[in-house]
Amino acid sequence: MKSPPIFNITYMLRTEYISRLRECNTLNVIFQLTDKCVLSCKYCFAKGTHNGKPITFPIELLDQAIYQAFQTNHSYVVFEWTGGEPLLVGKYFFENVIELQKKHSTKPYENCVQTSGNLFDPGLIDFLIENEFSISTTIDGTRTIHNQNRPTNTNQGSYDAVVKTMNYIRDKGASCGFISTITKNNLGFENEMLECFQQLEVNSFHSNPYIYYEKNNVKDNSIALSKEDVARYFISEFNAWVERGKISPVPRTVYDIIKCLQKQAPISDTICTYGGRCLTNFVALTPNGDAYLCPKFTGSDNMMLGNIQQSTLLELLSVESKKMCELIDQRVEAINKCAQNKCGYFYICNGGCPYHSFIASEGQNISEVDHLCQSKQMIFDYLHDILYTINEKE
């Protein structure tokens, strides 16, 4: 095995980290419209997290949030509408969204909806497509795997309903992407998943590993992935893809890693997972105006940035705000632990995911080493060796 090249093994200064954050010109605003859903997914981090807050944003607060999103220093805004199940709020809500965006827009923007796909509402779907909302859903694998992971509230399978929704969207001339959440139910079925996704005529997809976190309202440790499971899955996914001739669908997670390894440089078209620039460019809002770094932190008081009824998004996302200063210091500490460990792959993972650091700290901070650091190094090592062997043969 050839040792991986060593990159960025110097301690990062706080000013350097802030400079990295400012390189990103896109603000992602995630509206968690409701914590209610039509599914009872075994791993849901969102269901029941709003603790009695309104079912969705009052129009006055929605107006305030959209206005504030256009007042930050970013040059582009992505509005992401999630839940629970965002389609539960109905067509009237999204009509107000469009009206308010037209009223307040000062820069380019786009809209994305992440639906379970199980709530089939043709009128609302048509409206979203007509107004250029991109729509995404979740399919966890084959019908059997998906139904194990994502049953309805009445414990029925949801796979057929999701595929029906996806096909309807495509028949209307729009695209419908999806992500896959990976649990123990997926292990050993990587080839079957690719075959299933090919039959669904999918070009690419992302895989998100399910990691158990004790403080989540919804959790199932029996299907959660261990660190070894995570490495095993992504390596097996890569091997299955290669054995199939590297045809569509492309597993984006391993594909992006390979791009980094080939260039020996980071990819620049993401601020999530391997972006390392999420802190001031990513915010999740709940129906009472509470703001968090990410939807996965919702309900964790120590990760709340504040409330947009007391402080604006511009103020909450400023590197000068008290909470953001604290979180920046924690991320710099986490990154410097990577340097201390002499990791040769920092240029790929950028210190890892803050939420995985949060899990590693048992919900105390985001300064710990990413919970999946060992898993990622195993994946990076494997793919690095494959590429090195190929280069040697050439």
Measured CA to CA, the distance from residue 292 to residue 301 in angstroms comes to 9
Average pLDDT, the chain: 92
pLDDT tens per residue, range 206-264: 999 999 999 998 999 999 999 999 999 999 999 999 999 999 999 999 999 999 999 88
Helix, strand or coil for residue 82? strand
How many angstroms separate the most distant Cα atoms in the chain? 64
pLDDT tens per residue, range 15-43: 998 998 898 899 999 999 999 999 999 99
pLDDT of residue 11: 76
The pair of structure tokens assigned to 147 is: 């139904």
Q: Please answer whether residues 307 and 296 qualify as being in contact, where contact means their C-beta atoms are separated by less than 8 angstroms.
A: no
pLDDT of residue 7: 47
Helix, strand or coil for residue 207? strand
Contacts by residues 264-271 (CB-CB < 8 Å, ≥ 24 positions apart):
264/5, 264/7, 264/347, 265/347, 266/347, 266/348, 266/350, 271/24, 271/26, 271/28
**What's the alpha-carbon Rg for the chain, to the nearest Å?**
21
> Strand 26-32 to strand 282-285: parallel, antiparallel, or no bridges (unpaired)?
parallel
> Strand 26-32 to strand 290-292: parallel, antiparallel, or no bridges (unpaired)?
unpaired
Burial (CB < 10 A; 0-12, 13-18, 19+), residue 236, is: middle
pLDDT of residue 322: 95
Q: Model confidence at 331, in pLDDT bands (50, 70, 90)?
A: very high
pLDDT of residue 6: 47
Measured CA to CA, the distance from residue 48 to residue 39 in angstroms comes to 12
Q: Model confidence at 82, in pLDDT bands (50, 70, 90)?
A: very high
Q: Which of 391, 387, 388, 376 is nearest to 345 (CA)?
A: 376
Mean pLDDT across the stretch 159-175?
96
Distances (CA, A) of 95 to 53, 82, 113: 22, 16, 14
Prediction pTM value: 0.93
* Peptide bond connecting 84 to the previous residue in cis, omega within 30 degrees of 0: yes
* Peptide bond connecting 251 to the previous residue in cis, omega within 30 degrees of 0: no
Query: Domains in the chain, ordered, with CATH?
Result: 23-318 (3.20.20.70)
Q: Model confidence at 271, in pLDDT bands (50, 70, 90)?
A: low
DSSP secondary structure code for residue 368 in this structure: S
Asked whether the predicted pLDDT for residue 8 surpasses 80, the reply is no
Quickly list DSSP for 267-302: --S-SSSS----TTTEEEE-TT-EEESSGGGTT-GG
